[in-house]
Amino acid sequence: MNTAAEGESSQAADSTGDDDAGSERAEPQRWQIGEVSITSISESATPTSPRFLYDGVSKGGVLARAEAAPWLRPHFVSDDGYLLQRIHTCVISAGEHRIAVDTCVGNDKERTNPLWHRQQGPFLDDMTAAGFPPESITHVVCTHLHVDHVGWNTCLSADGEWVPTFPNAEYLFCAPEYDYWANHEDLFGDAVFEDSVAPIAAADRANMVEAVDSICSEVSFQSTPGHTPGHLSVVIHSGGKRAVITGDMAHAPMQLADPDLSSMFDTDPDEARRTRHIAFGDWADGETLVIGTHFGGPTAGIMVPHKGAYRLDCD
């Protein structure tokens, strides 16, 4: 979750809305797809002002949308119009593979957003407590290379160098995504690529993938561009069941109720809209588990068509 360059300072300060809005961690969540398990480890769970995400959408506008789509409450929209959001990593356990999808914000990073600046959180301890110590991770997948999806790729070594956090993991980056951010400044102007991506390549741990690739028979990629040029979602198939980890092709479930709503973070808002319409039409089969990379509350549910758009059934 990054912001557009215009007005970025005020929006960064308002990422949780008013001064009394806070951030906390959520308990791990687990889902089973055939023989594959998926575990969510939260770095933070934050009520988010809609103006941090969507141009021209106020808290009142969120409540009006929730009135038209009542399923958004109470899981995803608060009574005062905040979006209930999460930053988390999903670890996919498929056979011998332990695949960490997106690595949050990370500790010790110099960041413009004061909430993310030099964090000192217990995320790695939480991963270990959930059964996934860093050395157990075999693959790291970044759906895209924004600040809150790559942070724990690296950590500070004893001599102050950024080194891979997951010592036995192969890091997988979408080739067009990597090439784009290697040649473009982060939207905040933070050194995200330099401290969280480039050190992986320097350590010879980075492998470039395409949307047609897969990690194993159960885990593959789906091209979902628009939010960023090489954005990927992650698809899990096992036992005749399917799940999708969205990445940021949708930041909040409100975009299921209104797929035309693009966030200020999207590199190409029109392509992002087209992507949502295509992907949602595929995923809304009444069977696919959709796991939102920033969805708060239950985080996941079954997507179904609803009133010309979609809803997420979480019960």
What is the mean predicted confidence (pLDDT) over 2-14? Answer: 32
Q: Which two tokens stand for residue 29?
A: 């969540």
The Cα 52–Cα 14 span in angstroms is 7
At residue 187 the predicted structure's pLDDT band, cuts being 50, 70 and 90, is confident
CA-CA distances (angstroms) from residue 261 to 123, 257, 270, 284?
32, 9, 10, 18
pLDDT at 315: 77
Asked if the model's pLDDT at residue 98 lies above 60, the reply is yes
How many Å is the Cα radius of gyration of the chain?
18
pTM > 0.75: yes
Q: Which two tokens stand for residue 115?
A: 């909430």
Amino acid symbol at 246: T
The Cα 218–Cα 97 span in angstroms is 10
* Domains of the chain (ranges, CATH numbers): 8-313 (3.60.15.10)
pLDDT at 61: 97
Q: How many CB atoms lie within 10 A of CB 107?
A: 19
pLDDT at 9: 29
What is the dihedral sign for C-alpha 158, 159, 160, 162?
A: negative
Closest of 15, 53, 11 to residue 263, by C-alpha: 53
pLDDT at 38: 98
Assess contact for 232 and 225: CB atoms under 8 A.
no
Amino acid symbol at 239: G
Taking only the tens place, the pLDDT of each residue in 36-91 is 999 999 999 999 999 999 999 999 999 999 999 999 999 999 999 999 999 999 99
CA-CA distances (angstroms) from residue 238 to 4, 126, 300?
38, 27, 17
Asked if the model's pLDDT at residue 107 lies above 60, the reply is yes
At residue 10 the predicted structure's pLDDT band, cuts being 50, 70 and 90, is very low
Taking only the tens place, the pLDDT of each residue in 250-280 is 999 999 999 999 999 999 999 999 999 999 9
What is the mean predicted confidence (pLDDT) over 87-112? Answer: 98
What is the mean predicted confidence (pLDDT) over 90-110? Answer: 98
pLDDT at 13: 33
What is the mean predicted confidence (pLDDT) over 203-210? Answer: 97
At residue 23 the predicted structure's pLDDT band, cuts being 50, 70 and 90, is low
Q: Classify 91 as helix, strand or coil.
A: strand
- Distance between first and last Cα of the chain: 27
Q: Classify 9 as helix, strand or coil.
A: helix
Residue % of the chain over a pLDDT of 70: 93
Q: Which two tokens stand for residue 261?
A: 């709503």
Taking only the tens place, the pLDDT of each residue in 125-179 is 999 999 999 999 999 999 999 999 999 999 999 999 999 999 999 999 999 999 9
pLDDT at 239: 98
pLDDT at 25: 76
The Cα 200–Cα 24 span in angstroms is 29
Asked if the model's pLDDT at residue 18 lies above 70, the reply is no
Assess contact for 194 and 181: CB atoms under 8 A.
no
The Cα 198–Cα 250 span in angstroms is 26
Helices (H) and strands (E) in the chain, counts: 8, 16
Q: Residues for the chain: how many in total?
A: 315
The mean pLDDT value of the chain amounts to 93
All residues at 6 or more sequence positions from 260 whose CB lies less than 8 Å from its CB, including other chains: 273
